[in-house]
Amino acid sequence: MSIQSKFTEIFGLAPDLVTAAPGRVNLIGEHVDYNDGFVLPFAINARTYCALRIREDSRIRIASKQEDGTAFEAEISSLKPLTGPVWTRYILGVIWALEVKTGVEIFVDSEVPTGAGLSSSAALECSVAIALNEILTLNKSLQELARITQRAENEFVGVPCGIMDQSISLMGKSGHALLLDCRDLSTRQIKVDFETFGLKLLIVDTRAHHALVDGGYAERRAQCEEVARELKVKALRDLTLNELEVARGKLKEINFKRARHVISEIARVHDAVTALEANEFETFGRLLTDSHTSLRDDYNVSCPELDVAVDTALANGALGARMVGGGFGGSAIALIKDADAGKIGAAIEHAFKDRGFKAPRFFDSLPSDGAQVLNSN
């Protein structure tokens, strides 16, 4: 059944418009967005669809295919951060952050797997934001929508995420990764063509989700902010590795390691762009693997499942591999030769089975377009 028909079945009238916004993988630049750094994500082809109709009163009715399609209702004046079922907060948070004054009906349906570290949350938020922006003629730029949806997630949902996921879901471009400066949200689209060179990016969903996810992320943010405060810079982006080394004695050793990851990772993003633009895929792959090592050893956000996925891919011929997203579970990526895909997939499946891990899932996706209005009545 089409999303329009499903919407009509639930709410009785056809939607005013349908939008879609994608999930993402990040090629490189992990845990640097909240340090004003640079990231290089691309939008994947899996998307979240949003059908929306404006009401003439102040009632909000929302439903999700993934939450059995039953409508959840609220009054627009009584929206309150950090309350209500968690899935509803991603939608209500965007309505709240956009300061919408009228009632709406929304039905969402997502292809982006949840818990896989592929930003299903940002896809959901951005599909709703782009729909409201269009239908209410709010005229917000993509940068503004990125900040607004991040605010919805930070304040209304209660997740202290950075700006990367929302930005790429909104600004993705087919065939390109987005070099995003997380300080001023300026961007450069970087062509990504692995196919022509017989390569592809394998996405491995480890299906692991460790309890550390929430507390561990907030703790790392706080450690980074502490270093920036102690060394009197606005953010870690403003420090060089050399300056950090000189100040080592003043810092807690653990904070030093956190900052070393962030500063070295930002440098790797720039090197990765140079390598991509020169079609130097061996170098690019090495940078991915260096990123993983730094995330594992200095930032301590990997986990056994991610390490096994990465190590097995590398042992079977991958040019590079790393965990993506927040860590403690979720997905890894590996840059592999197309011809090795079957062999590497099978090796990872075996390695997971041997260790008693859940069976992993594999995806691949070319860089795809960001959020779009698909049709309006």
Stretch that binds ligand GLA, among 75-83, 124-132, 162-170, 191-199 (CB under 6 A): 162-170
Per-residue x/- track, 33-72, ligand GLA (CB under 6 A): xx--------------------------------------
When the beta carbons of 98 and 159 are compared against ligand GLA, the nearer one is 159
Considering 109, 165, 290, 298, which one is annotated as catalytic? 165
End-to-end CA distance of the chain: 18
Distance CA 343, CA 315 (A): 11
The verdict on 125 binding ligand GLA (CB under 6 A) reads: no
**Shortest distance, CB of residue 10 to ligand GLA, whole angstroms?**
30
- Two tokens, residue 377: 């009545």
Question: Contacts with ligand GLA: how many residues (CB under 6 A)?
Answer: 10
DSSP secondary structure code for residue 155 in this structure: I
State which H helix or E strand residue 59 sits in: strand 59-64
When the beta carbons of 84 and 216 are compared against ligand GLA, the nearer one is 216
- Two tokens, residue 325: 């997203």
The verdict on 325 binding ligand GLA (CB under 6 A) reads: yes
The verdict on 162 binding ligand GLA (CB under 6 A) reads: yes
When the beta carbons of 105 and 205 are compared against ligand GLA, the nearer one is 205
Contact (Cβ atoms closer than 8 angstroms) between residue 377 and residue 134 = no
Stretch that binds ligand GLA, among 94-102, 157-165, 304-312, 335-343 (CB under 6 A): 157-165
Indicate which single residue of 31, 53, 89, 200 sits in contact with ligand GLA (rule: CB under 6 A). Answer: 31
The verdict on 161 binding ligand GLA (CB under 6 A) reads: yes
**Shortest distance, CB of residue 122 to ligand GLA, whole angstroms?**
7
**Shortest distance, CB of residue 292 to ligand GLA, whole angstroms?**
13
- Two tokens, residue 228: 């920036």
Distance CA 288, CA 279 (A): 15
When the beta carbons of 161 and 239 are compared against ligand GLA, the nearer one is 161
The verdict on 30 binding ligand GLA (CB under 6 A) reads: yes
Sites for ligand GLA among residues 80-99 (CB under 6 A): none
β-partners of residue 364 are 202
Task: Give, in degrees to the nearest 5, the angle at Cα 298 between 317 and 207.
Answer: 55
What is 244-303 written as a DSSP string?
HHHTGGGS-HHHHHHHHHHHHHHHHHHHHHHHHHTT-HHHHHHHHHHHHHHHHHTS----
Q: What does the CA dihedral 54, 59, 65, 67 come to, rounded to 10 degrees? A: 160
**Shortest distance, CB of residue 262 to ligand GLA, whole angstroms?**
10
When the beta carbons of 88 and 166 are compared against ligand GLA, the nearer one is 166
| Number of helices followed by number of strands (H, E) in the chain | 11, 13
Is 369 known to be catalytic?
no
Stretch that binds ligand GLA, among 6-14, 50-58, 161-169, 246-254 (CB under 6 A): 161-169
Whole-Å CA distances, 93 to 87, 97, 114, 291? 10, 6, 18, 33
When the beta carbons of 120 and 133 are compared against ligand GLA, the nearer one is 120
Place of tokens 């301590």: 300
Cβ atoms within 10 Å, residue 193 = 13
When the beta carbons of 3 and 291 are compared against ligand GLA, the nearer one is 291
Distance CA 25, CA 43 (A): 7
Footprint of ligand GLA on this chain (CB under 6 A)? 30-31, 33-34, 161-162, 164-165, 325-326
Q: List the catalytic residues.
A: 165
